[in-house]
Amino acid sequence: MIVTLTANPSLDRTITLPAPLQVGDVQGAQSAREDAGGKGINVARAVVAAGEPCVAVLPLAMDDPFDTALRGSGLDAHRVPIAGHVRANLAITDPAGITTKLNLPGARLSPDEISAVVDATVTAAAGARWLVLAGSLPPGVPDDFYVRVIEAVRAVHGAQAPLIAVDASGPALAAAVAHGHPDLIKPNDEELGDLVGADLTGADAQTALDVARALVPDRVGAALVTLGARGALLVDADGAWAAVPPPIRVVSTVGAGDSSLAGYVLAHVRGQQADERLRLAVHYGAAAASLPGTQAPAPDDLPLGDVPLTRLT
């Protein structure tokens, strides 16, 4: 079983434009859709679509309209009651596959609500193979929140604790790497650069590897670094591999990284080796980018074509 925690879920509104976005202009949209989103929820949707059991933990008020979209997704969700309401994030996509994303801060959590989210995650993690901690932290939640969750899960479950993946950015990721020793992190090029104070935007796999090696395995068990259309890099204690996606038509890149993480975890629970985990991660990321909105890919959505892989070390 896989458990995900989304501390800051979002109702993802995607607007598709028939022409490139013109800032400051009035433009007619072609279509719109809404998905129950937030990084951990997106991971959970891809995992469930692949037939693996998954529980998604999230803070959610009883009367939140987000629950309608969440129920529609068919996820097994553990809702931790809070007073605030889920944010709505906006993605605007154009015919060239360029996405503009506007994210709101999210509902403020009180100290009691934060403790309830930690407790619910510890409970849900019993017997799980993976715990995926994903996304930004909402207002009121301190930067070391993921460290707190990791420590609580490991303290309660000991040797039976699940492997823990962290998909975050900025101070939340920095704290998790400095103090939590996650089993896996999944930064993109920019987030990895922020972590070490370097500009890695657009970097190739070898450059990203040189940076990631400073973290793996001393600070994190492994790093899956997504590089957008250039594919991804996997670094663990035993080696490093790079993979590139098959050709696709990009529709919406929102959630592609989440699907990559889902692909990695799915391959891991199926007993696949590091290179095959990376291959499935890249395949899932490509599938998500070829689907509209934050739609999570099912196995049938995986694009045809190879995912060429190179061993780097």
Q: Which of 59, 64, 99, 135 binds ligand F1X (CB under 6 A)?
A: 135
Contact with ligand F1X (CB under 6 A): which of 16, 42, 73, 188? 42
Find the shortest distance in angstroms from Cβ 213 to ligand F1X: 26
Pairing relationship of beta strands 239-243 and 130-134 according to DSSP bridges: unpaired
CB 296 within 8 A of CB 262: yes
Binding residue (CB under 6 A) for ligand F1X from 14, 136, 188, 295: 136
Minimum separation from the CB atom of position 210 to ligand F1X (A): 26
Task: Assign 3-class secondary structure to 177-203.
Answer: HHHCCCCEECCEHHHHHHHHCCCCCCC
Contact call for residue 254 and ligand F1X (CB under 6 A): yes
- Among the listed ranges 22-30, 31-39, 108-116, 189-197, the one in contact with ligand F1X (CB under 6 A) is 31-39
Interacting residue with ligand F1X among 8, 14, 188, 260 (CB under 6 A): 8
Which range touches ligand F1X (CB under 6 A), out of 36-44, 69-77, 143-151, 223-231? 36-44
Active-site option among 258, 275, 300, 301? 258
- C-alpha separations of 198 from 179, 190, 212, 217 in Å: 21, 9, 12, 20
CA distance 303 to 284: 9
Number of residues that bind ligand F1X (CB under 6 A): 17
Helix locations, the chain, DSSP H: 39-49, 66-72, 111-124, 145-157, 170-179, 189-196, 205-212, 256-269, 274-289
Residue 52, both tokens: 């693996």
By CB under 6 A, which span of 17-25, 34-42, 60-68, 192-200 interacts with ligand F1X? 34-42
63 annotated active-site: no
Name 1's Cβ contacts closer than 8 Å, sequence gap at least 6: 52, 53, 54, 55, 127, 128, 129
Q: Which residues bind ligand F1X (CB under 6 A)?
A: 8, 10, 12, 37-39, 42, 89, 101, 103, 135-136, 254-255, 257-258, 294
